[in-house]
Structures are given as C-alpha cells and as structure tokens.
A and B are shown apart, each in its own frame.
Chain A
C-alpha cells in the first residue's frame, strides 16, 4: 500500500502569512493527489485534485504543486477562515486510497 506522510503535523501562523504544507508518497503517484480542508465537527471539503487543479468555488489563494512522490499545498495569504486541518489523499490506480495524517493550522 502507498503511504502518505504529511509535514508538519501542526503549524502556527498569522493572518496574511504564506504557508506551505508538504505531502510525500511512498512511491510515484503521478499527480494523483487531492487536498482537503476540515473544520471541527464538519465534513472534509475538497480543495484541489490532480495535485494542482483547484476545485470549483475554492479561492485562488490555495494552490498545489509537486510531482512524483512530493507535493505541496500553499496558501498565499492566510485568511481567518483558513485555520483548519488539512489532509492530502492519494488515489493512484486502485484502492486502498490513503490519507496523510493531517496538518493542523492554528493561529
């Protein structure tokens, strides 16, 4: 199975900061990577897929990059509503689809 390792596990930042979260796969996943945002008590929300494609309705301050085994989620200018937990997920070829362990973004 493909393992996903996210870093950091938690991150403190301020409104207006630029932050980057990293996700590393245990093998090449050919950009088959999605990013989700989850707020307490709520379901996850899809932000990006195919590593860099922005889901409809998601603000352009969110961007994704990377290739092969290493991927990033960048928030260009943090807004108050962006403080949440972020997860990456690989969907390369067939199940099991694995998530990273999450990154909690705190003020």
Chain B
C-alpha cells in the first residue's frame, strides 16, 4: 500500500536560519506531489506542486523553494526564514482517481 512520510513533526527555528522539510512517498511511482501551508484561521494554501523529477511549479511568490531530486522525494527549503514562514506545512500526493493523500504535517515556529 502507499504511504507518505513527512518530517520532522515539529520544528522551532530562529529568524534567518535555513529550512529543509522532507516528504517521501512509498508504494507508488511518478506521483504528483504537493506542498501546502496552513496558517492559523487561513485554510490551506498551495505552495508548490511537482508532476515529475526536477519539475516544480510555484503557486505564490514567497521566501520558500521546493525541489524534487528523486521520483518520490519532495523537499521544501528556505535559505533564511522569516517570522511569517511560521505555520503548519503539509505534503500530499495525488492518486490516479483524483484523491489526495496528506502527510501528518510539520509545525514550524520561527522565533
């Protein structure tokens, strides 16, 4: 069966520090992968999506970047975190029947 792993679960980082969040999917090949951010009271905002290795689409201009170095690996990064980067980050992958499966999320607090 397919599973999605996301880590770390929680992270506290100082302003100006770098960020790397990792997401991996098991049990499938060539999935569409997504990064969402959830800010308090603001729902989920699509940040990036990828339809294949090295293919990244950015939905909103921001302080973050994404990479897909392997078929089932999706990484969210920042060179210098801002306070406004705090939030709950969710990785997801899409199944062929249009269902999306989400990871358990990373709670990022920038201090």
Whether chains A and B associate is no
